[in-house]
Structure 1
């Protein structure tokens, strides 16, 4: 009986570890871009990760942006050591770029690049949830 309970506890521990969220999952606050910033909710999509604009803010506070609900981080694949690669959409110019993310705790360095990654713009996001 004792062995049964120990096996059950060990199995429960392994099941919990298997369902642990990836560090990229959660709600992230963007840097201001053209005077506005957003909360982006990153979650699994297929075998990778995608981020959707869940709340938007400007100098007056929270507002209903037409970009709310749109996917800004697209198909980010984990590369190991907190690195991810995929695509990012910049709402202010409606362009999609090669995207690279590097996580460091509750900080995210996100880059949108052109020319195969030779020229990149960068934003630092902070995890809020």
Structure 2
């Protein structure tokens, strides 16, 4: 019985460590241009919508994933072109990257508000 309880406690403790490692992408983020982007859950993915700035109201991305890594599509609002994209959360920073052919990439680091 004590072994079973000890094993159960060890499993629960390790699972709580996994949960703590996950960093949610949802929330409001300040982009490098100074605009605010909201990332919200939408149909099993996460939609990226600009809330302030010249392109306020425009959805500029849709990412899927969990933990710290997300992939999907990112749209450059200036030229309205969509690229293969990714987002990587590290604390209060979000590194967003858009690529053409996985070779030509541009990235920005956003800050959680």
TM-score by length of 1: 0.66
How many residue pairs were aligned? 91
Which residue of the other structure, out of 57, 72, 86, is the alignment partner of 1:86? Answer: 72
> Matched residues in 2 for 1:126 and 1:118: separation?
25
Structure 1 equivalent of residue 92 of structure 2: 106
Structure 2 equivalent of residue 118 of structure 1: 103
Structure 1: give runs of 5+ residues left out of the alignment: 1-21, 57-64
The answer to whether the 8 Å contact 2:39/2:49 transfers is yes
SS of the equivalent of 1:68 reads: coil
TM-score by length of 2: 0.75
Which 4+ runs in 1 deviate beyond 3 A? Answer: none
Structure 1 equivalent of residue 61 of structure 2: 73
SS of the equivalent of 2:35 reads: strand
> Matched residues in 2 for 1:49 and 1:94: separation?
19
Structure 1 equivalent of residue 81 of structure 2: 95
Structure 1 equivalent of residue 3 of structure 2: none
Structure 1 equivalent of residue 11 of structure 2: none
CA offset at residue 112 of structure 1? 0.4
The answer to whether the 8 Å contact 2:24/2:67 transfers is no
Task: Please tell me the root mean square deviation across aligned C-alpha atoms, in Å.
Answer: 1.3
CA offset at residue 24 of structure 1? 0.6
Which residue of the other structure, out of 51, 55, 64, is the alignment partner of 1:54? Answer: 51
Structure 2: give runs of 5+ residues left out of the alignment: 1-22
